Amino acid sequence: MLTETKLRNLKANDKLFKVNDRDGLYVAVTPAWAISFRYNYSINGRQETITFGRYGVGGITLSEAREQLGEAKKMISAGKWPAKEKARDKARVKGAETFGAWTEKWLRGQRRLRAGQAMYCRRAMARTYQ
């Protein structure tokens, strides 16, 4: 079973290698020293791997990876593919327009607003949605 200390002390090799945790969770360590949490599963005889994220600064912790594993196992028991659901969620977020971008597009479409009024609207939105 992995601990935070063991994860910090992992050293990279010439090839990718795996270190098992529990419940099927493991970390893959690349030669570039990237450590990522992964889980192999199969539904209807088809094998897939889901990557939960990288370990380290800006990444996820061991406990977060274990929580995500629990969620993935629930999805698998419900007959859903966790890797495909994760890809769909990522695509939704990528295609989503931020409120600031929507506001700018709306303001550009308001032909009747003078420059001063548009600037006032931008400032009001910036103060409201910081």
Is the CB of residue 83 less than 8 Å from the CB of residue 49? Answer: yes
CATH number corresponding to 4-95: 3.30.160.390
Q: Residue 34 above 70 pLDDT?
A: yes
Q: How far is CA 46 from CA 41, 65, 81, in A?
A: 8, 23, 10
**Distance, CA of 64 to CA of 68 (rounded, Å):** 6
Which pLDDT does position 130 carry in this prediction? 58
Four-residue CA torsion sign, 94, 95, 99, 103:
positive
Looking at residues 63-79, what average pLDDT do you find? 94
Which residues, 6 or more positions from 99, have their beta carbon under 8 angstroms from its beta carbon? 129
Place of tokens 């989503």: 96
| pLDDT level of residue 129 (50, 70, 90 thresholds) | low
**Domain residue spans in the chain?**
4-95, 99-128
